[in-house]
Amino acid sequence: MVIIMKPNTPQSEIYRMQEKLKGIGFDVHISQGQNYALLGLIGDTSQINESQLLANTHVDRVMRVQHPFKRASRHFHPQDTIIDIEGHKVGGGHLLMIAGPCAVESQEQVLTIARSVKDRGAHLLRGGAFKPRTSPYSFQGLEEDGLKILLEAKRQTGMPIVTECVSPETVDLVASYADVLQIGTRNMQNYSLLKKIGRTNKTILLKRGMAATIEELLMAAEYVMSEGNTNVILCERGIRTYETYTRNTLDISAIPAIKELSHLPIICDPSHAAGKWEMVEPLAKAAIAAGADGLIVEVHHQPEQALSDGAQSLKPERYERLVKAVNRIAEIQHSLV
């Protein structure tokens, strides 16, 4: 349920209403705009008498939210959420560019790529230190040694770090090094992991599960937000379909759908969607044209020697072309708003 207060309602009245609702057992989420305030109620609202709420002279109207996700719902937070990661913003018209190798392989490799992508328009550096792989025989990552390499890359370039948490046991370790904690497709419904990262103060990059619906993705975000962490970035990275030509099928429609349903920023991962480097740029363009708030792209200076996902990694020169192209598309979009 959402209670919409009348414009210019005194803060004292909003506070009084909040405390009253808390007193009868509700968790109350306040969304404060320039000329409005919304009170979102979490809990069993079936017994609430709406006419009693409307009798309050400061209440404009009452709405029941049908979606099972509450905190992630745009009803609870009409304005786009804007997340600031050490001066780099995402959401609300701010485009965030994340780039780097799939896996941390060596300090020389990461530093070379970090400098290259920063010079070519990336804001954040991605790199996997823990690598959940389909095969137990594939490269699993350098773990904490990889995190140390990423931290050194940040020291030398100033780029905030995005890296994956693969289990609740690794959260504290990864959070001590990284600026953004990534939850990969295989862990989107690992609820104990989602709860643990929800208790951190880090920005969370939540990737859509390979067979997850949009509602399931938003419910995963709800798990994180219900623990107190509202800095969640969603990521469309392609879903599993009957098509085998590409690694996954990029669901472009998910981007405007989530924009309608949720206030959270959503970015796109065209690398994992395609699985082929030649298709990364056109998919990236399509995602930004559809309204995505940014991209996370795999870049490697020697993809033919990469230990993980070389076939979908762009070389730095091609990444530069992609960045220029999507920035132009974003500019056109903003001019039409």
Backbone angles phi, psi at 23, to 5 degrees: -65, -20
Which helix (H) or strand (E) element contains residue 334?
Answer: helix 316-336
What H or E segment, with its residue span, contains residue 280?
helix 277-289
- The pLDDT assigned to 272 comes to 96
Domain ranges of the chain: 2-63, 83-336
Q: How much of the chain is helix, strand and coil, in % rounded to 5? A: 40, 20, 40
- What is the per-residue pLDDT for 8? 86
Global confidence as pTM: 0.92
Average pLDDT of the residues in 142-165: 97
More confident residue, 322 or 334: 322
CA–CA distance, 168 with 197 (Å, rounded to integer): 8
Q: What digits encode the pLDDT tens for the residues 78-108?
A: 999 999 999 999 999 999 999 999 999 999 9
As a whole-number percent, the residues of the chain with pLDDT over 70 amount to 98
In this prediction, residue 16 carries a pLDDT of 93
Give the least confident one: 130-134, 174-178, 285-289, 308-312.
Answer: 130-134
Average per-residue pLDDT for the chain: 94
Of these ranges, 20-24, 54-58, 172-176, the one predicted with the greatest mean pLDDT is 172-176
Sequence-separated (6 or more) residues with CB below 8 Å from residue 213:
none
Q: How far apart are CA 6 and CA 53, in angstroms?
A: 13
| Neighbouring-strand partners of residue 181 | 163, 204
Q: What is the Cα 201 distance to its own chain's centre?
A: 14
pLDDT tens, position by position, 205-228: 999 999 999 999 999 999 999 999
List the structure tokens of 272: 């994992």
- The pLDDT tens digits for 294-323 are 999 999 999 999 998 999 999 999 999 999
More confident residue, 335 or 198: 198
Q: Which span out of 10-14, 47-51, 232-236 was modeled with the highest average pLDDT?
A: 232-236
248 vs 336, higher pLDDT: 248
Phi, psi of 62 (to 5 degrees): -125, 135
Name the CATH topology of 83-336: TIM Barrel (3.20.20)
> Class for domain 2-63, per CATH?
alpha beta
